[in-house]
């Protein structure tokens, strides 16, 4: 079981003073993880230093502008697979049950497909299973990394690390399909409202086809779910 997933999930959390206090431990975990290439580890250290030293209100504003006002950078994984369709609800219900099978119970107000929540879950399952589940989402993670790179965002390093930790290389066709989705202007609130009101998101050249890797991702994540009850542990 690898605490690196929890460390990276914490780096993707909303900046707070509590998060700042955890940065030294987070960076210790990052620097000891040899599965992450050296250049990415160094970029993670720089991100950690920024999260520690920059003005907290500037950090919070940047976080909201980056992840909360642009759906193509949403930290909710199924947003990039199902959009707001009803299928997403069932997928998330299955994911909650999967968490329960590993003794975890949703304690936060975030959705179960929220990436920091998912990473917290990966930190308590065997490394092989964690890498496999992460690999099924590698195309989403790579697309997010590319979008963040275009914005010169230091958060890109987190997604580069996650791709490195997965057991599969991102599918280039699936990444390209995701990248064809137009990016919203985070300052255009009316356009943002219209985007979030859409009933579903599809990817690729045809409106009849979904993301090329969507079904594989969902089947892999939900295929581990078996009937049962969650324990009293919290995620």
Task: Kindly indicate the confidence band of residue 181, based on its pLDDT and cuts at 50, 70 and 90.
Answer: confident
Is the backbone of residue 211 left (phi > 0), alpha (psi -120 to 50) or beta? beta
- Alpha-carbon distance of 113 to 186, in angstroms, equals 22
By the 8 A CB rule, do 122 and 134 touch?
yes
Q: What is the pLDDT of residue 11?
A: 97
Q: Which is more confidently placed, 194 or 7?
A: 7
User: Which tokens hold the place of 42?
Assistant: 């160094």
pLDDT digits (tens, 9 = 90+) for 88-104: 677 778 888 888 888 77
pLDDT digits (tens, 9 = 90+) for 104-143: 777 667 788 899 999 999 999 999 999 999 998 899 999 9
pTM equals 0.76
Least confident of 161-165, 176-180, 215-219: 215-219
When the pLDDT of each residue in the chain is averaged and rounded to a whole number, the result is 79
- Alpha-carbon distance of 73 to 206, in angstroms, equals 22
């Amino acid at each position: 079981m690898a605490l690196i997933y929890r460390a990276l999930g914490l780096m993707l959390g909303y900046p707070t003073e509590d998060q700042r206090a955890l940065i030294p431990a987070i960076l210790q975990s990052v620097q000891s993880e040899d599965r992450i290439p050296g250049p990415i580890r160094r970029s993670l250290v720089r991100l950690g230093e920024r999260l520690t030293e920059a003005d907290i209100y500037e950090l919070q504003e940047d976080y909201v502008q980056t992840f909360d006002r642009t759906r193509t950078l949403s930290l909710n994984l199924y947003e990039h697979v199902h959009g707001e369709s009803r299928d997403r609800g069932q997928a998330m219900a299955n994911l909650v049950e999967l968490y329960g099978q590993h003794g975890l119970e949703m304690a936060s107000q975030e959705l179960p497909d929220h990436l920091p929540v998912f990473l917290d879950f990966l930190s308590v399952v065997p490394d092989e299973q964690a890498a496999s589940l992460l690999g099924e989402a590698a195309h989403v993670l790579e697309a997010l990394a590319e979008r963040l790179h275009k914005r010169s965002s230091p958060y890109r390093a987190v997604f580069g690390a996650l791709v490195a930790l997965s057991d599969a290389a991102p599918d280039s066709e699936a990444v390209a399909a995701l990248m064809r989705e137009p990016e919203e202007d985070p300052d255009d609130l009316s356009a943002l409202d219209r985007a979030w009101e859409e009933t579903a998101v599809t990817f690729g050249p045809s409106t009849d086809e979904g993301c090329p890797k969507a079904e594989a991702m969902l089947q892999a994540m939900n295929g581990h779910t078996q009937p049962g009850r969650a324990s009293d542990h919290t995620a």
